[in-house]
Amino acid sequence: MKDCCSYNNGAYDLAVIGAGSAGFSAAITAAEAGARVALIGSGTIGGTCVNVGCVPSKALIRAVETLHNARAASRFDGIEAEARVTDWAATVAQKQSLVDELRGAKYIDVLPRHENVTYIEGLARFSDEGKLTVDGAPFAVGKVIIATGSRAHVPPIPGIEGVETLDSTSALELTALPASMLVLGAGYIGVELAQIFARAGVEVTLISRRGVLPGAEPEISRELERQLSHEGIRLHRTRSYERVSQDGQGVCLTVTDGEELRGERLLLATGRLPNVEGLNLGAAGIKTDARGGIEVNAQMRTANSTIWAAGDVTGRDQFVYMAAYGAKIAARSAMGNEGRGYDNGAMPWVVFSDPQVAGVGLSEQEAIDQGHEVVTSVLPLDAVPRALAARDTRGLIKLVAEAETKRLLGAQILAPEGADSIQTAAMAIKAGMTYEELGDTIMPYLTTVEGLKLAAQTFEKDVAALSCCAG
């Protein structure tokens, strides 16, 4: 690492603020184009995904999945199994070892491979004159990419300041399991964390104002809610959060009409906010939206023609792969390549619940709102041979298509192995395929992805009348 003050004399073509996935993607892309890049980071290198997000949560999801599989083994005649948590601290320590390993392999050890990238540890912000500074010292550079990520949102509930809350970071660091937990927010973070702790033996109440996965298709949301309930997760929907307090017995959350919900710990999963505080964006002529996300055009350029932004700090598509994708576009634009614009029309997304939820393209309501006349297909998983063989028919598949052209507009899957199938739907949508073309596509038998073929055929056929292999 090098002292920033030795490099504030115009030695760099580009400064990238933020050393997470978006920052690294931007820095490497620009360096490969010949730019001299200063990658400026503050705090733990690697950003949200590897340190406190995707990697640790998915590691623990897999860990508790073994507990569920043992409990569900009796669905096969003649098989019994059992599993239990014997040392949660050891499970968490193993998770942390993986985090440390990947941080080193994918971030720290990557830097020496790119001679044109210099990592500088310091706090970047814009001066009142709109110029970049690092730890208060002027940092002369022609172009800047902001990739400072996001943080957990704390809802403005009266009394929240006096409660020792958990967020997605601190919850995954707990070395002792509480007896009970209130999880506030039932989006993808809330659902994933609620299921982790419930499967580990915690009594979980999942609380929301808009239901489970409110952005998903209603058929998907309802069925996932049913499956979570079957696992013992208490689901509570309310209109408002009136106040929260903590005493020696735990946390008390008062909701609509004075009803009290109690738990040993309170986990906040109410979304994330862009990290823009302290950057002094206004002085640099950078505009933000109502939630603080930096506004950018298709090339990720801000209102300041020499500054770009990418990743969670823009407030949209908060997935690590979209952060890296947007950062590449920003870097290419900064290097003068304006040919490619940000396109999320075929962006797949996944919720690592069990069953998993995955989607791409438009929901039925979104398609209608955009003026399409639509037709839909909903296929229960008990029509998919793979699910029947696994004796696990939790879920369904929904496809949305344009009525006149039959062109696919969207797909959502709820299935134990749904995440690995959504890319097929994404490629079909990107290619402009019709549901007839998807239904005619050759797919391997006894796979979850074959369900997409069956769902496509369901638009015009009764799949119960077909022979095997989606004939």
Q: Which residues are annotated as a binding site for FAD?
A: 58, 148-150, 312
Q: Which residues contact 444 (CB under 8 A, 6 or more apart)?
A: 450
SS3 category, 144: strand
Q: Which of 429, 421, 296, 363 minimizes the C-alpha distance to 22?
A: 296
Binding residues for NAD(+): 185-192, 271
Q: CA angle 43-317-374, nearest 5°?
A: 170
Q: Which of 251, 253, 254, 256 minimizes the C-alpha distance to 240?
A: 256
Got the DSSP string for 389-421? HTT----EEEEEEETTT-BEEEEEEEETTGGGT
Chain-centroid distance of CA 135 in Å reads: 31
Q: Which of 251, 255, 216, 258 minimizes the C-alpha distance to 235?
A: 255
Q: Which two tokens stand for residue 27?
A: 């820095």
Binding residues: 58, 148-150, 185-192, 271, 312
CA distance 355 to 231: 12
Cβ neighbours around 84 below 10 Å, total: 8
Q: Which of 288, 266, 285, 267 minimizes the C-alpha distance to 277?
A: 288
CA distance 154 to 156: 7
Got the DSSP string for 190-258? HHHHHHHHHHTT-EEEEEESS-SSTTS-HHHHHHHHHHHHHTT-EEEE-S-EEEEEEETTEEEEEEGGG
Bond into 355 cis (ω within 30): yes
